[in-house]
Amino acid sequence: MNKILLFLLFGIFASSATMAQADSSTTEKIYTSVQVVPSYPGGMENFYKFLAKKVRYPDEARVHGTQGKVIVAFVVEKDGSLSDIHLVKDVKDGLGNEAIRVMKLSPKWTPGLQNGKPVRVAYSVPISFGLGV
């Protein structure tokens, strides 16, 4: 019987430059580099636990043996909520959709700070899906 292993990797992809982008809901600046980066409640270990608990390997991906890394990007808002959750890199067979589904379940994060004030911050999370024997 094959066991399914889910490998989760977390990383932050942001350029070193601060950049402003327009968003459909607001025209406030979105930072890619801040003095204090946003964080998941309880830290990275809790984020890994959250992903491990919530991610379900898609049946289609399991049947086809699909593995790989998807990258989900989002904005951590001033109140810690996540918005504009979308894929930067997808694989296939539902892996990207599953990653987005799980990120939409995330509790509010601690927002990023610039000059001591909460700001909107662009963030990326790579999530690797793997099948083990």
What token pair was written down for 77? 């808002």
Q: Cβ–Cβ contacts within 10 Å for residue 90, how many?
A: 17
The residue segments making up the domain with residue 114 are 30-129
Q: Tokens in use for 113?
A: 């700070």
| CATH of residue 44 | 3.30.2420.10
- Number of domains, the chain: 1
Question: If we measure between CA atoms, which residue out of 44, 33, 55, 16 comes closest to residue 120?
Answer: 33
Flag whether the pTM goes above 0.85.
no
Q: Is residue 5, in this structure, part of any structural domain at all?
A: no
Query: Residue written as tokens 């019987």?
Result: 1
d(CA 111, CA 55): 24
Distance in angstroms (rounded) separating the CA atoms of residues 93 and 67:
9
Indicate if the pLDDT at residue 119 is higher than 90. Answer: yes
Residue 123 parent element (H or E): strand 117-129
Residue 116 lies in a domain: yes
H-type alpha helices, the chain: 44-54, 59-64, 95-104
93-103 residue pLDDT tens: 999 999 999 99
> What is the mean pLDDT of the segment spanning 51-60?
93
Q: Tell me the pLDDT tens digit for each residue of 30-40.
A: 999 999 999 99
Q: What is the pLDDT of residue 2?
A: 35
